Amino acid sequence: MSDLLERLRERGWRLTAQRRVVAEVLDGDHVHLTADEVHARAVSRLPEISRATVYNTLGELVVLGEVLEVSTDGRAKRYDPNAHHSHQHLICSHCGTIRDVHPAGDPLAALPADERFGFAVSGAEITYRGLCPDCH
Amino acid sequence: MSDLLERLRERGWRLTAQRRVVAEVLDGDHVHLTADEVHARAVSRLPEISRATVYNTLGELVVLGEVLEVSTDGRAKRYDPNAHHSHQHLICSHCGTIRDVHPAGDPLAALPADERFGFAVSGAEITYRGLCPDCH
DNA sequence: ATCCTAGCTTGGACTTTGTCTAAGTCAACA
DNA sequence: TGTTGACTTAGACAAAGTCCAAGCTAGGAT
């Protein structure tokens, strides 16, 4: 994650305590926190950090391509730091747990030309749903 | 769509003017309205219908399996009446237009057993993204 | 045909999630 | 060390959705 901060600094990002804390909170695998969850964890390390800064920082990380925004349920967006490894998501229909998964093949290949309606199709997001081991 | 109302009445649904109007508004192909859009159109046919009733009715239609809820962008949920024909969505990254599409093959087949983490996987939703003919 | 009542609808208050702004603060370069 | 533009803050605001108490009504019962 220090690589991340270094990379961003080289891109002209000003390195503040707040941004460092947000980046630290997002470190790890299978991390899919909401903005409020990120804020809560950030506050425990830097009590005066504001909600607005967390939103700003998450938004910047998304634009910079360092974090993915995932809208799984129409409620709060979640932020996924695993942006450099293409993956999809598997979500428990009961408890909401999210795992990163790697399906075989290229999902775009499954969409025939006559189903593209003249679009220049550039990507596909897949959400698999089912019950996790704890919920069945 | 009258089939729909008949089907619901047989399931014990009380048929009110409000529910009829919501069902009428949702009729058609490639319909993906937000709750507020449904409300706006419903109001033009039945001026006194309330937002709460539109939300209630949409929620019931989703539970009854007659309408799908689609969260495409983390903003308002959209309601898709095409629930009886399995399909996925293709969305224009620029203007937000949504089309129903039908990919080849079973999307679940692409997820290997060792990527299922013990989940009982039951479904997959795919969102294809790209630029529509009007936007490129 | 009328009555009854469980179920439906209503408006408004409330919650959640996210955005915006003006004023103050500070990282990084000179 | 000083300067300055970028960053942060608190709080107001907005959008989307939920909840509730009070009133209304569809449709079966009489």
Output the pLDDT for position B2.
57
- Please indicate whether residue B2 or residue A6 has the higher confidence score (pLDDT): A6
Q: What is the mean pLDDT of residues B106-132?
A: 96
The beta-strand segments (E) located in chain A are 33-34, 68-70, 78-80, 88-92, 98-101, 120-131
When pLDDT is cut at 50, 70 and 90, the band that residue A29 belongs to is confident
When pLDDT is cut at 50, 70 and 90, the band that residue A91 belongs to is very high
Q: Which helix (H) or strand (E) holds B88?
A: strand B88-92
Give the CA dihedral A128, B135, A59, B78, nearest 10 degrees.
-50
When pLDDT is cut at 50, 70 and 90, the band that residue A39 belongs to is very high
Q: What is the mean pLDDT of residues A45-69?
A: 96
- Report how far residue A71's alpha carbon sits from residue A26's, in angstroms, rounded to the nearest whole number: 17
Q: Minimal Cα–Cα distance from B6 to chain A, Å?
A: 30
Report, in ranges, which bases of strand D sit under 7 Å from a protein C-beta: 6-11, 15-20, 25-27
Average pLDDT, chain B: 94
Contacts of A119 in chain B (CB under 8 A): 90, 92, 99, 128, 130-133
Indicate the residue of B69, B121, B129 with minimum beta-carbon distance to A130. Answer: B121
Domains of chain A as residue ranges with CATH = 2-80 (1.10.10.10), 88-135 (3.30.1490.190)
Indicate the residue of B73, B90, B108 with minimum beta-carbon distance to A119. Answer: B90
Given a cut of 80, is residue B109 above it in pLDDT?
yes
Contacts of A32 in chain B (CB under 8 A): none
Chain B residues whose C-beta is within 8 A of a chain A C-beta are: 69, 71-74, 77, 90, 92-93, 99, 101-105, 107-108, 110-112, 115-133, 136
Cβ-defined contact of B119 to A130 (cutoff 8 Å):
yes
Indicate the residue of B77, B121, B133 with minimum beta-carbon distance to A128. Answer: B121
Given a cut of 70, is residue A85 above it in pLDDT?
yes
- Report how far residue A100's alpha carbon sits from residue B38's, in angstroms, rounded to the nearest whole number: 35
Q: What is the mean pLDDT of residues B119-127?
A: 96
Q: What is the mean pLDDT of residues B74-87?
A: 92
Paired tokens of A111: 């969409």
Paired tokens of B33: 């309205």
Output the pLDDT for position B30.
86
Paired tokens of A52: 């607005």
Kindly report, residue by residue over B25-80, the tens digit of the pLDDT. Answer: 999 888 999 999 999 999 999 999 999 999 999 999 999 999 999 988 878 999 99
Helix axes A17-25, A2-10, angle to 10 degrees: 140
Given a cut of 90, is residue B102 above it in pLDDT?
yes
Q: Minimal Cα–Cα distance from A99 to chain B, Å?
A: 8
CA of A15 to C1' of D3 (A): 18
Do the strands A68-70 and A78-80 form a parallel or antiparallel pair, or are they unpaired?
antiparallel
Chain A residues whose C-beta is within 8 A of a chain B C-beta are: 69, 71-74, 77, 90, 92-93, 99, 101-105, 107-108, 110-112, 115-133, 136
Helix axes B51-63, B35-45, angle to 10 degrees: 120
Output the pLDDT for position B57.
98
Paired tokens of A79: 């932020």
Output the pLDDT for position A2.
56
Residue A118: closest C-alpha in chain B: B133
CA of B81 to C1' of C4 (A): 36
Average pLDDT, chain A: 94
Cβ-defined contact of A125 to B121 (cutoff 8 Å):
no
Cβ-defined contact of A116 to B90 (cutoff 8 Å):
yes
The CA-to-CA distance between both ends of chain B, in Å, stands at: 35
The beta-strand segments (E) located in A54-119 are 68-70, 78-80, 88-92, 98-101
Output the pLDDT for position B1.
56
Q: Which helix (H) or strand (E) holds B54?
A: helix B51-63
CA of B11 to C1' of C2 (A): 27
- Report how far residue A110's alpha carbon sits from residue B103's, in angstroms, rounded to the nearest whole number: 5
